[in-house]
Amino acid sequence: MRQSLLILDLVVFFFGSTIYVGTMWAVRLFFYPSWDKMTVEALPEHFTIPVKAATKFFTVVIPLMLITSVVLIVEEWGKAQLWQVIVAFLSLNASAVVIFSLFLRPINQAIETATDQATLTPLLKRWMFFNDLRWLTTTVTWAAMMWFLIGRGHLAQAFQH
């Protein structure tokens, strides 16, 4: 039973980190090219609705990820792969708690209330800068957990025939 719960814990964390990093990569690769030209009129449809949906989703997922990462840290304590889980935990905190809560949430609110282009464009550029940081931290989170899984699953050895 304990092993099944630990596997579920790991699945929840990796699921969340995969969606989080995928969202940040999609934002960076597909949405950025047009966002510095976004108009005030386009905000509700192209900014406010997607950002509110993502915020609502990650408000549930991120706390679950934080809890599951703490469980993984406790489980891995004293083992060689502990550092990978700690890196994932710290980079997740940097992304979700520090960058989003301290910097992006206020920028989101300012963007949503922008009434002219002169105000909106610099806000969107600041928004993209902080999301570049989140893109980096979510990539680190995902990569640390992938490295952890590869090591835990002995996947490298599975390909040595």
Q: So what's the pLDDT on residue 35?
A: 74
List pLDDT tens digits, range 21-76.
Answer: 999 999 999 887 777 778 899 898 888 999 999 999 999 999 999 999 999 999 99
pLDDT of residue 155: 66
The confidence score (pLDDT) of residue 161 equals: 61
CB 45 within 8 A of CB 51: no
- Taking CB atoms within 8 Å and a gap of at least 24, the contacts of 124-129 are 124/35, 124/36, 124/38, 125/36, 127/35, 128/32, 128/35, 128/36
pLDDT band at 158 (very low <50, low <70, confident <90, very high): low
3-class DSSP string for 82-111: HHHHHHHHHHHHHHHHHHHHHHHHHHHHHH
**Looking at residue 93, what is its pLDDT?**
94
Residue-wise pLDDT tens digits, 88-113: 999 999 999 889 888 999 999 999 99
pLDDT value at position 52?
A: 92
Predicted confidence (pLDDT) per residue in 108-145, tens digit:
999 999 999 999 999 999 999 999 999 999 999 999 99
| Closest among 113, 137, 124, 133 to 21, alpha carbons compared | 137
CA-atom Rg of the chain in angstroms = 18
